[in-house]
Structure 1
């Protein structure tokens, strides 16, 4: 049996930019991506703690050390600069493997730094 479980989570990062005139996605500081075990192009769920909005998109690498969390394209309408987000990715794996798996959960400090 295969199940879908939490793989990665960036908990309570702040939106630094919202770029409506971009094709789509979310740009994330590469340091944060590494810490949360995320890769470019990976599907993520984005939950906005300020307004309850939820969306799915994919990750684009942001400048390392910048603290960048930028919603692009239509997603830019779902948050404002300063909103607090939870960014989540999931993985599908065998049930027995999933019982032993430990997700990467990251709690960045102010400024989206580790």
Structure 2
């Protein structure tokens, strides 16, 4: 049996840009992606803490160190600059592996500058 568990999460990521005419996706600072093991083009679930919107898309890498979180394409209608997002990815695990699995979590502070990397609390 396989279980779908949280693989990685970037919490309180502040939207820095919107690009309605881009083909789609969510651009995320490459450093943030690396910290949580999120791959480019990986499917993500995004929750907007400001308006309750939840949507699926895929991650693309923004320049490392840019602190960029950009809603692209149709997702640009689901938020605005300054909104806080929770960005999640999931993976399938065998039951035995799931017993000890801990997702990688990145908690961001104001302006995506304060970075706290931690495992999810039990």
Query: What TM-score do you get using the length of structure 1 for normalisation?
Result: 0.97
- Misfit runs of 4+, over 4 Å: none
**Structure 2 unpaired stretches of 5+:** 116-122
> C-alpha root-mean-square deviation of aligned residues, in Å?
0.8
Q: Does 1:63 pair with 2:63?
A: yes
Distance 1:78 1:51 in 2: 8
Q: How far does residue 63 in structure 1 lie from its aligned partner after superposition?
A: 0.6
Structure scoring higher RCO (CA < 8 A, sep ≥ 6) equals: 1
Q: How far does residue 36 in structure 1 lie from its aligned partner after superposition?
A: 1.3
**Structure 1 unpaired stretches of 5+:** none
The C-alpha deviation readout for 1:8-62, integer Å capped at 9, x for no partner, is 0001010001110010000000010011110101000000000000000001010
Q: Does 1:94 pair with 2:113?
A: no
Q: How far does residue 68 in structure 1 lie from its aligned partner after superposition?
A: 0.2
Number of residue pairs matched by the alignment = 114
Which residue pairs with 2:119 in the alignment? none
Distance 2:18 2:99 in 1: 37
Give the alignment of 1:1-114 within 5 angstroms: 1-113=1-113, 114=115
Query: What TM-score do you get using the length of structure 2 for normalisation?
Result: 0.91
Q: How far does residue 111 in structure 1 lie from its aligned partner after superposition?
A: 2.1
Distance 1:110 1:80 in 2: 15
